[in-house]
Amino acid sequence: MKICSFLPSATEILFALGVGADVVGVTFECDYPAAAAGKAVVVHSAMQSGLTPREIDEVVRETAAAGGSLYFVDWALLEELAPELIVAQDLCRVCAISTPSLAREISQLAAPPRVVSLTPHSLTDVLGDIETVGEAVGRHDAARRLTEGLRARVRRVQERVQARGRSRARVLCVEWLDPLYQGGHWIPEMVALAGGEAVLATAGEKSVRIAWEDVVRADPEMIVLMPCGFHLEETVAQFRALALPAEWEKLAAVRRGEVYAVDGTAYFSRPGPRLIEGLEILDAILGGGDFEGLPQQSVVKISAA
């Protein structure tokens, strides 16, 4: 079966299920696993490179207001590849191709493929999506083995949290730094599983913009910076360039030295198998900062200055 992935998390799922060889097309963002980089790129971005987070946010909002999309498909290449299955998403309007346009264009292909669209809002949804993709590619048993293993890792985190027996720290997860957005969808659930209480966020709800005044009032005891689409080094650089308000130094998290940067792209933004590694990263943060055994370049404690 020839498959095209229209989102990085689907690419990760497909490779994890052992059908990477069947993937013939991916997006420009599909950088994991390494073998995905060798696939034809069928989904591109209209976003100009080199923009600041503030400029990116402005472009995203203007494009959304105009009813447009920042992503586009190379339809000529897609026709040439002739996939039998496309895995897409309808969760994030920032990252999604316009659904009406997608359906219309796909229907005009010489051999229209089946489309599986994923819309997860929770960890349970993500694991369910893995099994849905498994069914679609004829890897039902592999999908069940994968999700059972992931669920076992979640249980081990829960056991560690129970053994610690500490009070639940108030945690602010920041999905975008300028302007500020909190981490939504599955992020509050992950914080809760790791033994914390996500502030300014509701499990299953989308990420929304917040103000520094909101952060000051919430006074989180821990802050985790996880801007969507950026790896650890980029996140730290963005934080260093950020104009912090005067109240920053008074926040409990800053006074306690509990401000962390993580690789949001790899372990938090993409609803795929590596979210469980993100959960384990949060468990390490809330459990005292022992990062031994975690993936390299996944988390770092950063100073307040």
Mean pLDDT throughout 193-213? Answer: 94
Digit-coded pLDDT (tens) for 257-297 = 999 999 999 999 999 999 999 999 999 999 987 898 999 99
What's residue 104's pLDDT?
78
What's residue 175's pLDDT?
97
- Phi first, then psi: give them for residue 31, nearest 5 degrees: -115, 5
Confidence of residue 93 (pLDDT cuts 50, 70, 90): low
The residue among 100 and 23 whose pLDDT is bigger is 23
Domain 166-301, CATH homologous superfamily name and number: Nitrogenase molybdenum iron protein domain (3.40.50.1980)
Domain spanning 3-119, CATH class: alpha beta
What's residue 99's pLDDT?
55
- The mean pLDDT value of the chain amounts to 92
> Would you kindly state where each structural domain of the chain is located, as residue ranges?
3-119, 166-301
User: Is residue 94 scored above 70 in pLDDT?
Assistant: no
Domain 3-119 and domain 166-301 have a common topology: yes
What's residue 108's pLDDT?
85
What's residue 289's pLDDT?
78
